[in-house]
Structure 1
C-alpha cells in the first residue's frame, strides 16, 4: 500500500516545461517626434557620436551628413564616396569618423579638419557594414565579397581576412569579450569569430532566410539576429539560443537595443516592432509614415540607432528622410495597458 501511495505522489510532480512565462516589463509606446529631410537618396546607415551631440547618416546619394541631435539641423555634408554609403562608425577614443560604401572604399575622416586622412584598401566588392572595436584600435568591415576584414586603424594593414561565409555579409558587430566579432550573412548563418586567431568559433545555422541585421545588447552579454523568418536572441560566448521574437512578418533590415531593454526591428515594408528584450513580448507594432509626395512603396526602414541615452531612436528610411522617435511621456500603464497573456513557456530548440 505504501508503495502505491509513493507511486501516485511521484506522478503528481510538476513537469519542468510547464513553467509559466514571466510577465514582461511595461514600456511606454514610442511615437514620431521629428522628420529630418535633406538627403537625395535612401538613408542607409546611421552612427551617433559618443558625446551624444550629433549623429551622422550615409545615403545612396553618396554623401555623409552630420546633424545636430537636439535640433535636427544639418551641420555638415561630407563628399568623397562615389557609390552609396553603407556603413558609418564614430570612434569613442579618437576624433575619427569611418565610412564604407559600395565603391569598395573604407575612409577614415578626421573630424577636426573634416578631411579623409586614411584609406583602407583590400575589399574586392561593395562593403555593406562596419564596426569599431570598443577597446582595440581595430576596425572590421564586411560586404559582398563574403569576407570580413580586420584593419589596424593606424597602419592601414589588413590584420585578418575572416572568410567562411558563402554569401554577402550583411552586418558585422564588435564587442569587448569573445566572440569579439559577430557577422551575419545572406547565406542564412551567423558566425562568431576568434579575433586573435582569425578563425570561426561557432556557426549558428538556425535561421532559414538571409540574416540582414545584428544587435549587441549594450550591457548584457547577449545579441540578437534578425531575418525574414524570425528574430532570435543568443547568449555569448558560445551562441546558445535564448528565445525567438515572433510576429514581425517582413524582411528585417535593422535591429537596435537600448539599455532599458527595448529592442526595435525595422522592416523593408516600413513596419516597425518594439519588443521587451527580456521576455520577447512585442509591445508595439506600427507602420512608418512616408514623406508626403512619396510612393507607398518607398516605406522601408534601412537603418536604426538609439542615441547614447537610449531615449531617442533614429531611423533611416527609403523615403529619403531620417525620423526621430521617442517614448510617449504621457502614457501610463492605465492609458496604455500591457497587452499580454501568459502562455505555457515552450522549450525553444
Structure 2
C-alpha cells in the first residue's frame, strides 16, 4: 500500500519513534529498529528531541479528535432541535397575517416577576429582567439559557438593545436609580453606569436602533438623553407629568411619546425638547405607549376617514394603554381616533405588528389581544390565560435593518413616504415575539 507520507516525512517519523523508544528505556527495540532502517548508532542522541515532538503531535491529535467528536455531537443535537422547532406557524403562514398561537418555548429560570424583555437586533439572543435583580440571556431559537448576570441592587425595570450595528449594547434600568450598559461582545461586561435620575428609572430606549443615544424616563418626572459612548447626559427634559412610566421613540428618532401617572401621554420633539401635544382621555395612570410603524399608516388614515394621506413623517400615529383597561389610538396632533375596549384589567404592554395590520396588547387579565387595524381596529383574536400571572411586557423581534434605514438613502429626509406593504413584503420581517409575566416565565412565540 502506498504511503501517504513523503520520503522525508517517513524518515522523520521513524527517527521520532526510535527516539521515543529510547526515552522509555526500550533500548533493545530502538536498536533493532535503528539497525533495520540503517540509521547510525549516534542517532538516538542526535535526534532524541524528535521524541518530544512525537508526544506533542500525539496529544494534539487526540485533543483534535475529541473536539471533532464534540462538534459532531453538537451539530447532531442542533439539527434535531431545528427539526423539532415549532416554526410551522410562521413558515406556512403569510407573515402579514401571522399572529401568535401557542408558545414555542417557555423560558424558566427567574425567581421573581419578569419586568422587561428585549431582542438582540442581529443574533438569536433574548434578554429578560426581573424583580430578582438579574438579567438573563436566552437563545430564543433553542429555548436555552445562555447567561445570567447581576449588577443592579434593586428591581430591574427596563431593557433595550441598541447602538451602532457594529457595537450593539444592552441597556438596563432599575429602582436603584441607575442605568447600566452591558457589552455582548465582552460576555456582557458592565462597561458603564449612568447616574443622574433622582428616583426609580422606569424605562430605557435607544433613540433609534443604530444610534448611540439612549433615552430614559423616571419617577423623578424627567426624561434624559445619554451618549452611550461617553456615558454623559447630553439633554434633560423636565416635565410636570408626574411619574413617567413608559416612553417610546418614533421610527425616525425625531419624536418621543411618554405615558405618565397623571393619566396623560405627551408627544415630545427630540430636537427642541418641547412638547408637541398632550393626549388626554385616559381615566387612570398610563402603563404603556407605542408609535405605529409606517406600515400601519394606511389603515389608521382610513380609520380617521381621511381621503388623502396627511402623514408625511414616519411618526403619524401612536397607541396608549393604561389602568383604565382601555387602549387609545391617537394622531400626532393629539386627536383621539378610537378607544379599544376588551381587557378586563390593566393594560401593561403594546406592540404593533411589523406588517401594520394588527396591534397586540397584554395585561393583568393574563391575555394577549390582537386588534385588526384593517377592519376598524376591532378585536380580532384573544389568547386567554397564556401565563399563570399578570402579563407585564411584550416585545416583537426587530428587523435586522429598520424600515426607515432600508428604504431611504442618506441624502433623503425622513419626511418622505411611509414604507409600503410591498416593500416590507420584499424585505421581510421576523415573526417572533416574547412576553413576560409575574409568574416569572418568558414565553417565546414563533
Q: TM-score range by the shorter chain?
A: 0.7 to 0.9
**1:130, CA displacement in angstroms?**
1.1
* Residue 302 (structure 1) shift: 0.6
Give the TM-score taking structure 1 as reference length.
0.79
Does residue 306 in structure 1 map to residue 403 in structure 2?
Answer: no
Which residue of 1 is the match for residue 345 of structure 2? 250
The structure richer in strand per residue is 1
Q: Is the aligned partner of 1:121 residue 2:216?
A: no
How many pairs were matched up?
294
- Ranked by relative contact order (alpha carbons within 8 Å, sequence separation 6 or more), the top structure is 1
User: What secondary structure sits across from 1:31 in the alignment?
Assistant: coil
Distance across 2 between alignment mates of 1:314 and 1:29: 10
Higher alpha-carbon Rg: 2
Separation in structure 2 between the aligned mates of residue 306 and residue 177 of structure 1, nearest angstrom? 18
Q: CA deviation at 1:179?
A: 5.0
- Tell me by how many angstroms 1:148 deviates: 1.2
After TM superposition, list the pairs within 5 Å mapping 1:40-79 onto structure 2: 40-79=111-150
- The answer to whether the 8 Å contact 2:124/2:140 transfers is yes
What's the offset of the Cα at 1:51? 1.5
- Show the 5 A alignment for 1:280-319: 280-290=377-387, 299-308=389-398, 309-319=429-439
Distance 1:196 1:289, change over 3 A: closer
State the shift of 1:58 in Å: 0.7
Asked if 1 retains the 8 angstrom alpha-carbon contact of 2:159 and 2:170, the reply is: yes
Please report how far the alpha carbon of residue 105 of structure 1 lies from its aligned counterpart in structure 2 after TM superposition: 0.8
- The corresponding residue for 1:324 is 444
* 2:313 aligned with 1:217: no
Q: 1:81 aligns with which of 128, 152, 155?
A: 152
Give runs of aligned pairs for residues 25-44 of structure 1, distance below 5 A: 30-44=101-115
TM-superposed deviation, 1:265:
1.0
The match for 1:259 is 354
| SS of equivalent to 2:283 | coil
Cα distance in 2 between the residues matched to 1:53 and 1:271: 26
Any idea what the Cα deviations from partners look like across 1:15-72, whole Å, max 9, x if unmatched?
xxxxxxxxxx976562233211011111100111112511100111101101001011
- For structure 1, list consecutive stretches of 5 or more residues without a partner in the other structure: 1-24, 292-298, 327-349
Q: Give, in angstroms, the shift of residue 316 of structure 1.
A: 0.4
Report what 1:294 is aligned to: none
Task: Show structure 2 runs of 5+ residues with no match.
Answer: 1-95, 296-314, 399-428
> For the residues of structure 1 that align with 2:125 and 2:252, how far apart are their CA atoms?
28
Residue number among 219, 238, 244 corresponding to 1:169 in the alignment: 244
Query: What CA distance in whole angstroms lies between the structure 1 residues aligned with 2:249 and 2:270?
Result: 10
Scaled by the length of structure 2, the TM-score of the pair is 0.62
C-alpha distance in 1 between matches for 2:397 and 2:197: 30
